[in-house]
Amino acid sequence: MAQTNQINLQGRHAVVTGAAQGFGLAITTRMVASGANVSMWDIDEAELAKAAAAFGDKVSTHICDVTDVDAITAAVASSNQAFGPIAILVNNAGITGPNDVTWNYPVEDWRRVIELDMNAVFYCCRAVVPQMMEAGYGRIVNIASIAGKEGNANAAAYSTAKAGVIGLTKSLGKELVDHDIAVNCITPAAAKTRIFEQMSQTHIDAMLSKIPRKRFVLVEEVAAMVCWMASEENHFTTGGVFDISGGRATY
């Protein structure tokens, strides 16, 4: 997809979690093109190094397990050292977990999905918001999912976690209304990324059948929406949920 609009993130320091691939890499690419310096957080050291090579000194890399509060604290410190205070936080890291009916869903997989897809968003916001408040500026974009609005059969953990991200976004946005800090989330349909490797073909086909556009979202389309939401131009909307589901949900 050709980039058609120039978004101004000049001089801003952004943190993108799960930045080595998929949505995270596309968001990093668009942010660098928009003038931002990006701290790329990911748990996969090899993939992160490979992804970062294209960006030169516009990015810094940080191996971080975002389910580990101490690791987040360390990543914040090293990111600040690289590019100064964090102005933008994109909480993107996540997994789908296995596909199964709720009554058969493995408890350990449930805990793993909830911890990464929901709790980690809270941990990262908790770590970064105080410095945004001190600076008097910030933009937070949380990557939720259409599953968080509608609930996907055979994906109860993922749907529940993403619904939680929507709730967290609304609460934090209201808590920060007296500051120039916007907190919003997006609810994309699925994209053809490596996350599909965690899903059954039946589940993938079921998701596609619900999208009126009759295709999956492109990672570049997600990146474009996120980067505008992360820009100074978006200074009014907060606690919002932006749909990018190809017409599946219009509420």
Please state the three-class secondary structure of 114-154 as a single string.
HHHHHHHHHHHHHHHHHHHHHHCCEEEEEECCHHHHHCCCC
Q: Inform me whether the pLDDT recorded for 196 exceeds 70.
A: no
Residue bearing tokens 């916007």: 182
Positions marked active-site: 158
Q: Inform me whether the pLDDT recorded for 85 exceeds 70.
A: yes
Q: In what order do the strands lie in the sheet with 240-244?
A: 59-63, 37-42, 13-17, 88-91, 138-143, 181-188, 240-244
Could you tell me if residue 53 is inside a domain? yes
pTM: 0.93
Cα 57 from Cα 152, distance rounded (Å): 41
- The two tokens of residue 61 are 């890399």
Residue-range definition of the domain harbouring residue 233: 13-242
Could you tell me if residue 4 is inside a domain? no
Cα 43 from Cα 133, distance rounded (Å): 27
Question: What's the pLDDT score for residue 198?
Answer: 66
User: What is the number of other CB atoms lying within 10 angstroms of the CB of residue 99?
Assistant: 19
Question: What's the pLDDT score for residue 111?
Answer: 98
Could you tell me if residue 47 is inside a domain? yes
In this prediction, residue 215 has a pLDDT band, given cuts at 50, 70 and 90, of: confident
Q: Which residue type does 166 have?
A: I
Cα 203 from Cα 205, distance rounded (Å): 5
Could you tell me if residue 251 is inside a domain? no
Region of residue 75 (left: phi > 0; alpha: psi -120 to 50; beta: else) = alpha
Question: What's the pLDDT score for residue 251?
Answer: 66
Number of residues assigned to the chain: 251
| Cα angle 68, 158, 171; round to 5 | 70
Q: What is the CATH number of the domain that holds 18?
A: 3.40.50.720
User: What is the number of other CB atoms lying within 10 angstroms of the CB of residue 202?
Assistant: 10
Query: Which helix H or strand E contains 182, and what residues bound it?
Result: strand 181-188
Alpha helix positions (H), the chain: 22-33, 45-52, 69-83, 107-114, 120-135, 146-150, 156-175, 201-209, 219-229
Packing angle of the helix pair 156-175, 107-114 (nearest 10 deg): 30
Q: How far apart are the first and last CA of the chain?
A: 26
Share of the chain above pLDDT 90, in %: 82
Q: How many domains does the chain fold into?
A: 1
170 neighbors 226 (Cβ within 8 angstroms): no
Q: Which residue type does 112 have?
A: R
Could you tell me if residue 123 is inside a domain? yes
Q: Which residue type does 91 have?
A: N
Question: What's the pLDDT score for residue 4?
Answer: 72
Q: Inform me whether the pLDDT recorded for 170 exceeds 80.
A: yes
What pLDDT digit, counting tens, does each position of 43-71 carry?
A: 999 999 999 999 999 999 999 999 999 99
Question: What's the pLDDT score for residue 57?
Answer: 97
> Mean pLDDT over all residues of the chain?
93
Could you tell me if residue 62 is inside a domain? yes
| Cα angle 35, 185, 10; round to 5 | 10
In this prediction, residue 126 has a pLDDT band, given cuts at 50, 70 and 90, of: very high
Across residues 1-11, what is the average pLDDT?
83
Could you tell me if residue 231 is inside a domain? yes
Across residues 222-232, what is the average pLDDT?
97
Could you tell me if residue 3 is inside a domain? no
- Of 1-15, 36-50, 112-126, the poorest mean pLDDT is in 1-15
Q: Inform me whether the pLDDT recorded for 197 exceeds 90.
A: no
**CA 183 distance to own-chain centroid:** 12
Across residues 162-176, what is the average pLDDT?
98
In this prediction, residue 213 has a pLDDT band, given cuts at 50, 70 and 90, of: confident
